[in-house]
Structure 1
Amino acid sequence: MERYFVPNDLNPDNEKQISELYRKLLLRDIPVDTAKLRQWIMDWSELNSVLSDVNCRRYVAMTCNTQDEKAAKAYNDFVENIQPVMNEYDDKLNKKLMAHPSKDGLKGEFGEWFKGVQVSLDLFSPDNIPLETEENKEIQAYQKITGGMSVEFEGETKTMQQMASYMEKTDRDLRERAWRAMWERRLQDKDALDNAYDKLFEIRNQIAKNAHCKDFIDYIFLAKHRFDYTPADCEAFHESIEKLVLPLQKEMYKRRAQKMGLARLRPWDLDVDPLSRAPLKPYQSGAELIEKCDQIFESIHPQAGKWARQMQAQNLIDPDSRLGKAPGGYQIGFDEARLPFIFMNSANTDRDIYTLLHESGHSFHQFALADQPILAYRDVPAEFAEVASMSMELIGMSNLKPFYGDDLEAIARSFEGELSDVIWLFPWVASIDCFQHRLYNFPTHTATDRSDIWAEIMDRYDAGVDYSGLEAVRNNLWQKQLHIFECPFYYIEYGIAQIGALQVWANFKKDPKKAIDDLFRAESLGSSRPVKELFEAANIKFDFSPKTLEPLMQVVWDELGRN
């Protein structure tokens, strides 16, 4: 994007240059004129976009190779030296904005942002600037622990993501040995992960205290701009999942056990084909995965195909798993370039198709909102951002021929796996969200308390998997969920969004083009509207009550019964 305020030769590591740009914004005399105020806002957004772009690119470089000390240093230098400057001046500029007499004349365009700015002012504390820097450093330390995990198995060094592919092997003894090897390795770092969580927990509680919030839950609901629901709504969601979805998961696992001739499932029995058919092998390389997903997108909507091809041409996807690469997957926006980037760890499994469909959904969202004028509107509420991604999973499975051709059995197996994951997801989301609420309501808890609390939650959402003799693993399963460490309370959004995505899917089955047109139109709004209005723009309801959830789950269950 062309720059108007930020010099093209700006050194993003030069704290003095960056401070001077923020200082110019702070000291600029803005007449009582909405046009002049708007231009000031645009200059401020441009500066933030440039610096955010740098930060995101360095984060990508660091996570693509956690062993690259140069990349780690570049990211750390930015976090330690530049982000504090951004945080300090953002508060001052927020105050300048909210005090300007022409502000009300821009409410029509920027009113939703102004609401968030006021919350930021209310939450800001200068004492939190060094704490937020420390939090980022502790997150990086956590990533180094998980990124360094590997297992010697079958004579080779395997990443944890590569080990996960063994869970689809038909040899039950092999699956068990692989599963035990993975968890023996994870438990070697149990104490290190507990210590990492303790440090992050302490920092976050202090941040909430400095912001004069009752507790971190109060703080995070404000910081995440959760204006449309409350902790009590989250608890109601947990109960709805327990009553409406858990019985389906129990029945699903019961049927799986019967097909496998087992009295009860063990944790290594959950991903293998229950009829002992060989694992689906839909592709051979990351490049092939990208190519075939692009063909799916071209078949479902011309704009989706165009955006997917652009990402392929510009090498905006890193699909392959390798030693030293951080675990998990994400999509991130390069804010100045207005481009998305996808990071994932593929392992040549059917599940990887849906991971790329998911992250591509986020990328399409980034493309759709690229014309939003300010950076704040290109940062989307997670509850709707995940609708964009989860919808692409469900819509994408409407055409799996690029991967499986006319093999109807393989297509049915993939279809069944995706819908089974929908059922599995809800109780897991409820478990993770419930766990975090319990922990942050118990600020003096210990690592032992955490294990006990998690064990209680596992009992509550027990779907019939037999962990006898594996209690140490069962009581620490939460440690594999990176969101708990990296982005606290960012998880119930997946449950809320899954309900939205199921509605998009229902619309797609009736009128494919209109459903995607509606979705992309809603995505183009960015965060310029409240989350409920974004749902409405996509022709779906922002509602996760039993009234909406029950019929959607019945559709999923009926579809599963037909496969």
Structure 2
Amino acid sequence: MSGKLDFFQEKISLQDPNHVEQKLAQLLQKEIHSVEDLEQFLLEETELIEAIDEVLSGDYIAFNRYNNDPEIKKRYEHNQEVIQPLLKKYEALLDKKFYESPYREQLDQQKYNVLIKSKVNSIEIFREENISLQVKEDQLHNRYFEITGSITIDWNGEEKTIPQMRKFLMSSDRQIREKAWNLIWDEVGSKEQQLNEIMNELIRLRHQIAQNAGFKTYRDYMFKKYERFDYTPEDCFQFHDAVEKHVVHLVQEIKKKHQLEIGVEDYRPWDTQAIPKGQEPLIPFKEADELVKGTIDIFEQLDPVFAKLVQDMNDHDLLDLESRKAKSPGGFCSSLPVTGLSFIFMNAVGTQDDLSTMVHEGGHCIHNLLAKEQALANYKSAPMESAEVASMAMELFTIDKWDRFYQDETDLKRAQKEHIEGIISFFPWAMVVDRFQHWIYENPQHSIKERNKVFMDLIQRFTLPGINIDGVEEKIKLRWLLQLHIFEVPFYYIEYAVAQLGALQLWKKYTEDPKGAIAGYKEALALGGSKSLPDVYATAGIKFDFSTDMIQEMMQFAKVQLDRLKS
């Protein structure tokens, strides 16, 4: 492997598909004569799938790190076009072999219940004709990231990425932030047609995938694919309505207070991140090394295991934190199952958001570490609704320890206050992203004009009250184009809102009993995907609940914490 690829272990080469298929075929042909043989088959399946996943994950990470490297791009596209289809085919055959085994009924049903349910689900939705469509879908994802990763802004003669422009949006000088805001969205607007064309093709492919699998809509297909056994689309709609009723007015109050602080009569889109005159943007660190060392220190205060994990990842070159050109936007944590560690990818430029992202992704890494003690690959990964609790709770567990980054108490309280306000403000945006996708796939024949209108209607309902967008409506409608989830992982967003309620519950427990909350958190994370969502939440001492009552209770708790920071 080249130097850019030596951060992961290539125990099996994916460059030779015949070799990969031979390994999968050998496993498929394994004879099973007892329940013990069946359990051994599952363990061997885990070992082989993890060896393949390690390389797939490594190449995915490398592609996001180096969008412009032809060798890495070639490997990544080979995986998508050749290896992933092969793997999907054999995973379906292996699932069928397991399901049809007469010894399946002799397995410990309590231990294997979730696995059996998952495999039955996979068998029911698998269609071989969808494999080629999913390859095309992956190719469109690549194109999306190439376009968005290439976006740069000419800022007074210097080339800046969008993450690097964020600090200008926070400027107390209104002319600077207005100029920055317009330059960003002018540049995004220049890619609008290309990105909308990608979305059109994704919708067409996804609708066909759903129909091939026997579903009326792609939404219904994805709910089953994501194994959302514990809630329905109707539950999501009720969640949207509850947030509109109980959270939107709180966000308006936050905006009004901010408008007074920055001293503007007309609150515009470029004002929403501004800091008041006399203040400077919060800068918790300047270099990535400072972020790493500080994260290790605050994790040590929670649990030495957490701190050692980040140190180990740093020692093994598994952190790529700083923003640069030809690097995909956003941030993520990816598990490397053979290496036994995770990789954190992000675009840090020294802001408070970067600190939040680092501890958030650190929570995912802790989850991967604790769940790897599970014997089966299916159980080492967790549903997104619990995976995001792991990360969001870590943001809140560490919030009272951010003095490691802020020696000035005023700055510390400001960072804490803005973070809590950000949590409250996130809920309406999450509802927009989720409701928007429900509409998109319920109405797959829609036009771009109709899509933009629905998006504008949703943000005016949930996120724009109190903001004057006169004259910049054409730029506001572009906002969803940078929401990578809509393109790459459709319908993966409501989980953030569900999990945020879980994380707030854990934080409430932490304020009352820190050791007990961390112990419950670790015990729940160690379950991985071996239990249902309600069971995992209950193990952590919280409820899997996004009802109106829970939203009200957690918003009240968040407001109490905000009031505490004023005293």
Q: TM-score, normalised by structure 2?
A: 0.96
Equivalent residues of 1:63, 1:326 under 8 A apart: yes
- How far apart, in 1, do the equivalents of 2:487 and 2:80 lie? 18
**1:41 CA displacement:** 1.0
Determine the C-alpha separation between the residues in 1 that align with 2:156 and 2:298.
Answer: 35
> How has the CA–CA distance of structure 1 residues 428 and 276 changed in structure 2, closer, same or farther, with 3 Å as cutoff?
farther
The 5-angstrom pairing of residues 292-311 of structure 1 reads 292-311=294-313
1:4 is aligned to none
Q: Residue 174 of structure 1: SS of its match in structure 2?
A: helix
Moved more, 249-258 or 261-270: 261-270
> What residue number does 2:35 align with?
34
Residue identity opposite 1:441 in structure 2: E
Q: What are the residue-to-residue correspondences of 1:56-75 with 2, within 5 Å?
A: 56-75=57-76
3-state SS in 1 of match to 2:239: helix
Question: Which residue in the other structure is 1:3 paired with?
Answer: none
The corresponding residue for 1:533 is 535
2-structure distance, mates of 1:248, 1:60: 38
Please give the per-residue CA displacement for 1:215-259, whole angstroms capped at 9, x wherever unaligned. Answer: 111100000000000000000000010011000000110111122
Q: Which moved more, 1:290-299 or 1:426-435?
A: 290-299
Counterpart of 2:428?
A: 427
Aligned amino acid, residue 408 of structure 1: E
After the TM superposition, which residues 81-92 of structure 1 pair with which residues of structure 2 at under 5 Å, given as runs?
Answer: 81-92=82-93
Partner of 2:465: 463
Structure 2 counterpart of 1:120, from 111, 122, 129 = 122
SS at match of 2:114: helix
Indicate the residue corresponding to 2:512 in structure 1.
Answer: 510
Aligned to 2:4: none
How far did residue 368 of structure 1 move? Answer: 0.7
Which whole-Å CA distance do the structure 1 matches of 2:91 and 2:222 have between them?
19
How far apart, in 1, do the equivalents of 2:82 and 2:36 lie? Answer: 33
Specify the alignment match of 1:542 in structure 2: 544
**Cα deviations by residue, 1:12-43 (Å, 9 ceiling, x for unpaired):** 22111111111112222210x11111111111
CA contact (8 A) 2:172 2:279 kept: yes
Of 212, 235, 257, the residue aligned with 1:255 is 257
Describe the superposition over 1:258-300 as per-residue Cα deviations: whole angstroms up to 9, x where unpaired.
2222223211111222354111111110111111111111112
C-alpha distance in structure 2 between counterparts of 1:165 and 1:9, whole Å: 43
Paired residues, number: 555
Answer yes or no: is the 8 Å Cα contact 2:12–2:52 preserved in 1.
no
Which aligned pairs between 1:302-381 and structure 2 lie closer than 5 A?
A: 302-381=304-383
State the Cα deviation string for residues 93-146 of structure 1 (Å, max 9, x = none): 111110111112223322201101101111011101111111111101110000
Provide the residue aligned with 1:475 in structure 2. Answer: 477
Whole-Å separation in 1 of the counterparts to 2:277 and 2:530:
49
Answer yes or no: is the 8 Å Cα contact 1:138–1:200 preserved in 2: yes
Distance of 1:497 and 1:158 partners within structure 2: 33
1:447 aligns with 2:448: yes
- In the TM superposition, 1:541-560 aligns within 5 A as 541-560=543-562
* In 2: Cα distance, 1:112 partner to 1:559 partner: 38
Contact persistence 2:286–2:350 (CA under 8 A): yes
Which residue is 1:161 aligned to?
163
Task: Determine the structure 2 residue equivalent to 1:103.
Answer: 104
CA shift digits 1:175-196 (9 cap, x unpaired): 1101111010000000011011
Equivalent of residue 487 in structure 2, options 469, 485, 488: 485
Report the Cα offset of residue 463 of structure 1.
Answer: 2.9
How much does 1:350 deviate? 1.4
Equivalences for 1:391-402 in 2 at 5 Å? 391-402=393-404
Structure 2 gap ranges (5+): 1-8
Q: CA RMSD in A?
A: 1.3
Q: Is the Cα–Cα contact under 8 Å of residues 249 and 463 in structure 1 kept in the other structure?
A: no
Q: Does structure 1 residue 79 correspond to structure 2 residue 80?
A: yes
Partner of 2:350: helix, strand, or coil? coil
The residue identity in structure 1 corresponding to 2:294 is: K
Are 2:239 and 1:246 equivalent residues in the alignment? Answer: no
User: 1:500-523, CA deviations, whole angstroms, 9 ceiling, x for partnerless residues?
Assistant: 000010011111111011101100
In the aligned structure 1, how far is the partner of 2:278 from the partner of 2:486? Answer: 35
Aligned to 1:149: 151
Inter-partner Cα distance in structure 1 for 2:561 and 2:31: 62
Which residue in the other structure is 2:438 paired with?
437
**Cα deviations by residue, 1:358-382 (Å, 9 ceiling, x for unpaired):** 0001011011111111111122100
| Residue identity opposite 1:120 in structure 2 | S
In structure 2, what is the Cα distance between the partners aligned to 1:327 and 1:421? Answer: 20
Q: Deviations over 1:393-429 (max 9, x none)?
A: 1111111121112x11000110011001101110000
Matched to 1:453, the amino acid is V
Q: 1:420 to 1:276 in 2, by over 3 A?
A: farther
Provide Cα deviations, 1:525-553, integer angstroms capped at 9, x if missing partner.
10000111111111110000111110110
Tell me how far apart the structure 2 counterparts of residues 560 and 11 of structure 1 sit (CA, whole Å): 53
Task: Please tell me whether residue 500 in structure 1 is matched to residue 511 in structure 2.
Answer: no
* 1:336-372 deviation digits (Å, cap 9, x = unpaired): 2231110000011111110101000101101111111
Aligned match of 1:218: 220
> Equivalents in 2 of 1:496, 1:143: separation in Å?
27
In structure 2, distance between residues paired with 1:338 and 1:425:
33
Instruction: State the percentage of identical aligned residues.
Output: 34
Write the distance in 1 (CA, Å) between the matches of 2:278 and 2:99.
Answer: 63
Unpaired stretches in structure 1, ≥5 consecutive residues: 1-6
**Aligned with 2:401: secondary structure?**
coil
User: 15-24 or 146-155, which moves further after superposition?
Assistant: 15-24
Q: Is the CA contact 1:142–1:193 (under 8 Å) kept in the aligned structure 2?
A: yes
Q: Is the 8 A contact 2:10 2:54 kept in 1?
A: no
Whether the 8 Å contact between 1:124 and 1:211 is mirrored in structure 2 is yes
Please tell me the residue identity of whatever aligns with 1:354.
Answer: S
